[in-house]
Amino acid sequence: MTLAHLFAGQGSQRVGMGRELLEAYPNLVRQADSVLGYSVAELCLEGPAERLSDTRYTQCAVYVVDALAYVDSVRTGGRIPEVMAGHSLGEYAALFAAGVFDFRTGLEIVAKRAALMADAGRGAMSAVLGLDEDRVRGLLDSSGLPVDIANLNAPDQIVVSGPEDGVKAVSALMAEHADAVIPLKVSGAFHSRYMEPAAREFEPFLKGYVLARPKIPVIANATGLPYRDDDIAGTLCRQLTSSVRWTETVTHLLGLPDPELREIGPGNVLTGLTKRIQASLREAAVAG
């Protein structure tokens, strides 16, 4: 069996998450508090929800819970995964687990990423359900609006990202063809061209860190393929402006010998996406 860990990203947060983990690993929690300058346990357990949903805080909180969940999984289960992936922010927890950086360094990098993304300006994102990538791209091209595909979450679940007015107009267009279009509770145009200023600032910041070769393969959002040892920082910068290629990532993992995909972190969003991708692959196999 090939064990793959999938780390949850932004959107999985909820007030009350990680209670047992935060209590079980006080030393790591103290490290987090010293990096952030506030109590991460208070943020996770008491919120308020508005603060926990603020990108500056969300990313740090989810990274901490993801990382603690991994430590706990290995400690209690006694098994290290053969491969890992993380959805957007979750990729940082995967890289921590792979030994690319330690817990504290990872949180420092995540905090900077979160601040840069928050400072990049307002934007919006919407999930389009029931249309495939080609159909969504075709509609975006015909609209002429500066809106990008941010997440390829499943064959029939695509997230678009851009300026608020543009996403609103595109959402109305998509709604004429899709099963549903759902606005996401975010304040920025993540994983789009509008994150380029953040990526430009992030690059020199990452040069201040020594990033180690992954001890366990990590599938990159930007490529759907394992991280290259010589391009970790560059891949992390590209992730800010590139689509999250989650369908390709999960398809790659499902192609490994006897795969077991296990979600790590708060919620079960990735488990649901895995089931959608598996169903699509079965349908394609029957049709083919």
Residue 177 φ then ψ, to 5°? -125, -25
Residue 162's SS3 state is strand
Active site residue 126: no
Active site residue 5: no
CA distance 62 to 265: 8
What is the spatial order of strands in the sheet that 83-86 belongs to? 218-219, 83-86, 2-7, 259-264
Give me the catalytic one of 5, 87, 191, 252.
Answer: 191
CA distance 283 to 274: 14
Cβ count near 196 (within 10 Å) = 13
Give me the catalytic one of 12, 53, 88, 242.
Answer: 88
Give the up-direction half-sphere exposure of residue 223: CA atoms within 13 A in the CB hemisphere: 14
Cβ count near 187 (within 10 Å) = 17
CA distance 234 to 226: 14
4-241-48 Cα angle (round to 5): 75
CA distance 7 to 67: 9
CA distance 260 to 62: 23
Q: Which residues are catalytic?
A: 88, 191
